[in-house]
């Protein structure tokens, strides 16, 4: 396993060194012990966006980190810029310490990945979306921030206080597929701010999650696993609209079951 790790690290260093061979600041980059840390942008949920939450309903977003430090303990410092303030607009979980707009995250020695969480402070007041500009600004000697991951990332806290009747989309509803199939019954429950979970998606007992975006009347059906019919890799993804006056929620979804080479693009209309 150690040999495989060394081969992987050498491959990263080779590619990185070639790309940066003309840059003065990387001329002394170690060839076999490149130590790095950064944010894994591809693993951020919802493209780095998180609802602020309302009342007692809170939301959060995990910020994943990958790193290599030769199995040595280390701590790194982040600076949080933007118009969102720590302790006012959001709090942090999974960090060592916080001081003003900076905070420290520990890198465990027994793994190559860790994370911390951003938890927006919920409120019931309409306000503009706010941005957190994360940047790694403090590192142990010999460690680099960035490639093959990222040294910075923006997190957007989405205001979810535009007036709408979210409760209209909780409870029982009837569903018609593609204008002809149905109706059949589902039940929806609230699982997070502006998020519902339906219990009979596709009239098959599948559990599916929809996110109702308050301020623009849109619905997100985030990519999610829906193992069913003997296919553990089944999945759905899509988008749509909601109307709390009529109680109608419309989603256009792509349903896939790779084991059967099955893909179906459908429109489902939920009437609450």
What is the reported pLDDT for 57? Answer: 64
What is the reported pLDDT for 32? Answer: 54
3-state secondary structure of 89: coil
DSSP secondary structure letter of residue 1: -
| pLDDT at 81 exceeding the cut of 80 | yes
CA distance readout (Å), 107 to 12, 196, 248, 258: 20, 35, 47, 38
| pLDDT at 126 exceeding the cut of 70 | yes
Cβ neighbours of residue 248 closer than 8 Å, sequence gap 6 or more: 242, 269, 270, 271, 272
Q: What token pair was written down for 270?
A: 């939920």
Mean pLDDT of the residues in the chain? 86
The highest-confidence range among 56-70, 210-224, 229-243, by mean pLDDT, is 229-243
CB of 223 within 8 A of CB of 208?
Answer: no
Q: Kindly state the helix (H) or strand (E) to which residue 4 belongs, with its residue range.
A: helix 2-19
| pLDDT at 17 exceeding the cut of 80 | no
What CATH number has the domain spanning 34-158? 2.60.40.2030
What is the reported pLDDT for 3? Answer: 39
CATH 2.60.40 at 166-271, yes or no = no
CB of 212 within 8 A of CB of 242?
Answer: yes
What is the reported pLDDT for 270? Answer: 98
Domain boundary assignment for the chain? 34-158, 166-271
Using one digit for the tens of pLDDT, what is the confidence trace for 21-31?
433 443 444 44
Unique residue bearing structure tokens 């589902």: 186
Q: What token pair was written down for 256?
A: 């896939």
Q: What is the mean pLDDT of residues 94-109?
A: 95
Q: Residue 12: pLDDT band by 50, 70, 90 thresholds?
A: very low
Question: Roughly how many angstroms between the first and final C-alpha of the chain, as a whole number?
Answer: 55
Q: Measured between alpha carbons, how far is 74 from 222 in angstroms, rounded to an integer?
A: 35
Q: Measured between alpha carbons, how far is 112 from 95 in angstroms, rounded to an integer?
A: 17
What is the reported pLDDT for 203? Answer: 95
| pLDDT at 2 exceeding the cut of 50 | no
Using one digit for the tens of pLDDT, what is the confidence trace for 156-206?
998 888 878 899 999 999 999 999 999 999 999 999 888 999 999 999 999
Give which of 163, 167, 268, 174 is closest to 217, Cα–Cα: 163
**pTM (global) more than 0.75:** no
3-state secondary structure of 18: helix
For residues 44 and 46, the model is more confident at 44
């Amino acid at each position: 396993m150690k040999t495989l790790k060394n081969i992987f690290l050498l491959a990263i260093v080779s590619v990185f060194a070639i790309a940066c061979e003309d840059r003065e600041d990387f001329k002394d980059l170690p060839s076999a012990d490149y130590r790095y840390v950064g944010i894994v942008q591809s693993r951020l949920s919802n493209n780095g966006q998180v609802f602020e939450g309302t009342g007692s309903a809170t939301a959060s977003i995990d910020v994943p980190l990958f790193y290599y430090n030769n199995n040595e303990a280390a701590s790194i410092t982040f600076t949080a810029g933007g118009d969102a303030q720590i302790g006012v607009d959001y709090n942090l979980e999974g960090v060592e310490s916080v001081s003003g707009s900076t905070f420290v995250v520990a890198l465990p020695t027994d793994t190559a990945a860790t994370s911390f969480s951003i938890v927006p402070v919920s409120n019931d007041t309409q306000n503009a979306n706010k941005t957190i500009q994360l940047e790694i600004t403090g590192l142990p000697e010999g460690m680099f921030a960035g490639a093959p991951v990222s040294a910075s990332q923006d997190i957007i806290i989405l205001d979810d206080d535009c007036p709408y009747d979210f409760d209209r989309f909780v409870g029982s509803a009837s569903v018609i597929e593609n204008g002809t199939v149905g109706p059949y019954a589902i039940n929806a429950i609230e699982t997070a701010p502006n998020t519902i979970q339906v219990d009979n998606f596709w009239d098959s007992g599948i559990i599916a999650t929809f996110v109702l975006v308050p301020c623009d009347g849109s619905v997100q059906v985030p990519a999610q696993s829906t193992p069913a019919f003997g296919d553990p890799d089944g999945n759905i993804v899509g988008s749509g609209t909601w109307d709390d006056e009529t109680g109608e929620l419309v989603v256009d979804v792509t349903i896939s079951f790779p084991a059967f080479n099955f893909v179906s693009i459908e429109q489902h209309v939920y009437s609450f």
